[in-house]
Amino acid sequence: MRILAIETSCDETAIALIEAKGTDLMLKKPISYKILKEEVASQIASHAPFGGVVPNIAKREHQENLPILYRKMFGGGALEKKAWAKIDYIAVTAGPGLEPALWTGIVFAKELAKKWKKPLIGANHLEGHLYSFLLPKTKKLKKNKGLFPAIALIVSGGHTILLKVDNLKAWKKLGETVDDAAGEAYDKVARLLGLPYPGGPVIQKLADEGNPLAINFPRPMLHHKNYNFSFSGLKTSVLYFVRDNPEVKPADVAASFVAAATEVLVKKTMRAVSEFKAKTILLSGGVAANKHLRDNLLSSASKAKVNFYVAEQKYNTDNAAMIGAAAYINLLRKKKFKLIAKGNLGI
């Protein structure tokens, strides 16, 4: 099945043409995706001066970028017609995200659906992240004795969620952040160190040159019995520390912050793995691009003898291929999302 997927929930305008195969939601037999074409336009440069994403700028840029990316992907005339003859569905992110941004994708997708007479399906951005481990180049999911139950950690700019996943259509939320998301903490710490938005990649780079043991930042909620997270206090500790200790190297601050944020994420995930006797860890979302987090979870997973799956880096941050992946699974699980922008859609 071929799906053209569109993602405009935040600051990446993305479209992808994917081919999907497989039907087993327990994954005893693989579900696999081939990414035939993809185009992305990042708006990072437009939002960077404001230190975060500005909804109306995002909306305007999505409106400008979508037709450009579409033309890049399809060309025009006979080529475009030929490509559409093989497409079965159009998929678009319905939420969560910035509503003005989401609407641009939905309106564009509706126009395409009308013009080419194709069915249009909505997808949940968070489910896109969750399923991103199925995208290509991830360690192949071979025939296996069972991957479930799995513990999924979704860590992005807007969310930090821990799920117990029983199969690709059934899961339970174990916990989530009670204040800032992990990615938001990276972005805020970058800002207070005078670094550009988005904070994740620059903090990671700076942290590589620092000492993670230099400063003992708090590990919020590490010892709480529940699976919730909190990152706002950690960010405030970094703020006060930097204000009171201007002589300390920013690289040490960055490395110590990364160590604190990662330790909480990894330890809580591993506690859930042990409590629920999980066979697999699924890591996703923009912060999953963080090398320190990936390496730490991988080594904890191998010590605990559980599988560890994470998509290749470019499919951790927002992309359209994961929206196509989620839309395909929606079809398998007969799940329908309303084609209206829902900023606070949950998982």
Q: Which two tokens stand for residue 41?
A: 């336009």
CB of 143 to Zn ion, least distance (A): 31
What's the first-to-final CA gap in the chain, in angstroms? Answer: 25
For residue 211, how far is the Cα from the chain centroid? 28
Q: For residues 305-340, b (16+ Cβ closer than 10 Å) or e, as one string?
A: ebbbbbbeeebbbbbbbbbbbbbbbbbeeebebeee
CB of 103 to ligand KG4, least distance (A): 17
List strands edge to edge, sheet with 150-155: 170-176, 160-167, 150-155, 280-284, 307-310
CB of 320 to Zn ion, least distance (A): 11
Q: In the range 186-225, which residues lie near ligand KG4 by CB under 6 A?
A: 186-187, 198-201, 204
CB of 79 to ligand KG4, least distance (A): 31
Residue 287 binds which of Zn ion, ligand KG4, none (CB < 5-8 A, kind-dependent) = ligand KG4
Q: In the range 308-347, which residues lie near ligand KG4 by CB under 6 A?
A: 317-318
CB of 288 to ligand KG4, least distance (A): 8
Residue 122 binds which of ligand KG4, Zn ion, none (CB < 5-8 A, kind-dependent) = none
Q: How many CB atoms sit inside 10 A of residue 272's CB?
A: 21
Q: Which CB sits closer to Zn ion, 273 or 326?
A: 326
- Per-residue string for binding with ligand KG4, 267-286, x by CB under 6 A? ------------------xx
Q: Which CB sits closer to Zn ion, 61 or 318?
A: 318
Tell me: does residue 158 bind ligand KG4 (CB under 6 A). Answer: yes
Tell me: does residue 290 bind ligand KG4 (CB under 6 A). Answer: yes
- Residue numbers of the site for Zn ion (CB under 5 A)? 156, 318
Q: Which CB sits closer to ligand KG4, 69 or 83?
A: 69
User: CA nearest 332: which of 100, 67, 33?
Assistant: 33
Tell me: does residue 127 bind ligand KG4 (CB under 6 A). Answer: no
User: CA nearest 264: which of 238, 229, 297, 217?
Assistant: 229
Q: Which residues bind ligand KG4 (CB under 6 A)?
A: 10, 156-158, 183-184, 186-187, 198-201, 204, 285-287, 289-290, 317-318
